[in-house]
Amino acid sequence: MSRPYVLVLYYSSHGATRTMAQHIARGIEQSGIEARLRTVPAVSANSEASAPAVPEQGALYCSEQDLANCAGLALGSPTRFGNMAAALKYFIDGTSALWLSGALIGKPASVFSSSSSLHGGQETTLISMMLPLLHHGMVITGLPYSESELLSTTTGGTPYGATHVAGNDSRRPVDDTELKLCRAQGKRLGELAIKLQKET
């Protein structure tokens, strides 16, 4: 049996959501619980192609067991037409067995996203990611306004979860405010995972 961990599961094409995931993982580890970073393969219209089992670089692909055994979950996706990316949705659509067994019931979860524009659908994307997690019985957590950057940010950061504004060319680096909110979200999620574990 492995040590308890919080799973940080994300998809990222250009790296912004990956950077956010890494900072959320740092926040989780600050709370005293391990963070496990995992990603999902891209999906392709070319359905006979399949990705190698181990990616050439970066985080490993998430297994069903990674998700089933987590003490909490941070789920991150780029904003794609105001919704989560198909690759992440495809992975989630394959989790019926965990829904049937109730493996995720009562575990805390939070969501994060990166988009090109400030009003381009970050919050709808965050909510789109919450929906399947609610079906799984997870306890959704956001970011409280005691994180004062939520009141002053002119870029990313919402009470629904951490966000990043990547700009028209998707190259704008994740700024200090956005990173601070990522770490705060991770720390809060880790603390809740530890508390909820003690109660079960």
Ligand X SMILES: Cc1cc2nc3c(=O)[nH]c(=O)nc-3n(C[C@H](O)[C@H](O)[C@H](O)COP(=O)(O)O)c2cc1C
Applying CB under 6 A, which residues contact ligand X? 12-17, 78-82, 114-117, 120-121, 166, 170
Q: Cβ closer to ligand X: 16 or 28?
A: 16
Cα–Cα distance, 72 to 88 (Å, whole number): 17
CA–CA gap between residue 55 and residue 148 (Å, rounded): 38
Tokens in use for 174? 């994740």
Residue 12 beta carbon to ligand X: minimum distance, rounded to whole angstroms: 3
Q: Measured at CB, which residue is nearest to ligand X?
A: 120
Q: Which is nearer to ligand X, 115 or 153 (CB)?
A: 115
Cα(133)–Cα(154) distance, integer angstroms:
29
List the structure tokens of 133. 């997690």
CA proximity to 153, closest of 177, 172, 135:
177
What are 32's two structure tokens? 């005293």
CA distance 96 to 191: 28
CB of 155 to ligand X, least distance (A): 12
Nearer to ligand X, 16 or 181 (CB): 16
Q: How far is the CB of 64 from ligand X (least distance, A)?
A: 24
- Our CB check for ligand X shows the closer of 85 and 192 to be 85
Phi, psi of 8 (to 5 degrees): -110, 105
Q: How far is the CB of 125 from ligand X (least distance, A)?
A: 8
CB of 80 to ligand X, least distance (A): 4
Rounded to a whole number of angstroms, the minimum distance from the CB of residue 185 to ligand X is 16
Q: Which CB atom, from 65 or from 117, has the smaller least distance to ligand X?
A: 117
Nearest-angstrom CA–CA distance, 123 and 120: 9
DSSP H helical ranges for the chain = 16-30, 64-68, 86-93, 96-101, 122-135, 149-152, 176-199
Residue 119 or residue 198: which is nearer to ligand X going by CB?
119
